[in-house]
């Protein structure tokens, strides 16, 4: 959905002639608009994905230990067994 939002925003900027205004000022719009959004997306998505993965591991441990009553050591053993290739 990140790419669709960026595409819609850039399309609206083209319709409103904002990109033409950048070109008339001598600014290259592709480098100015697209590259900054790509860098921002990479800087934002990578940490958010990492946090989501860590939270999913914590949630699965909570569910296994607290709700199902398994021991934490047993969970850690099988988690580490299946995590390594």
Q: What is the pLDDT of residues 24-34, one digit of tens each?
A: 999 999 888 98
Cα 4 → chain centroid:
14
**Mean pLDDT of the 72-82 span:** 92
- pTM comes to 0.61
Could you report how far apart the first and last alpha carbons of the chain are, in Å?
Answer: 31
* Average pLDDT of span 77-83: 90
Q: What is the mean predicted confidence (pLDDT) over 10-32?
A: 92
Q: Which pLDDT score is estimated for 1?
A: 65
Q: What is the pLDDT of residue 3?
A: 80
How confident is the model over 29-76, as pLDDT tens digits?
Answer: 988 898 888 898 889 989 999 999 999 999 999 999 999 999 999 999
């Amino acid at each position: 959905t990140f790419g669709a939002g960026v595409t819609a925003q850039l399309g609206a900027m083209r319709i409103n002639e904002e990109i033409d205004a950048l070109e008339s000022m001598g600014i290259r719009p592709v480098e100015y608009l697209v590259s900054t959004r790509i860098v921002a997306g990479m800087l934002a998505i990578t940490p958010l994905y990492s946090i989501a993965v860590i939270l999913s591991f914590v949630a699965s441990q909570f569910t296994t230990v607290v709700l199902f009553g398994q021991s934490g050591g047993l969970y850690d053993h099988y988690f580490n067994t299946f995590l390594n290739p």
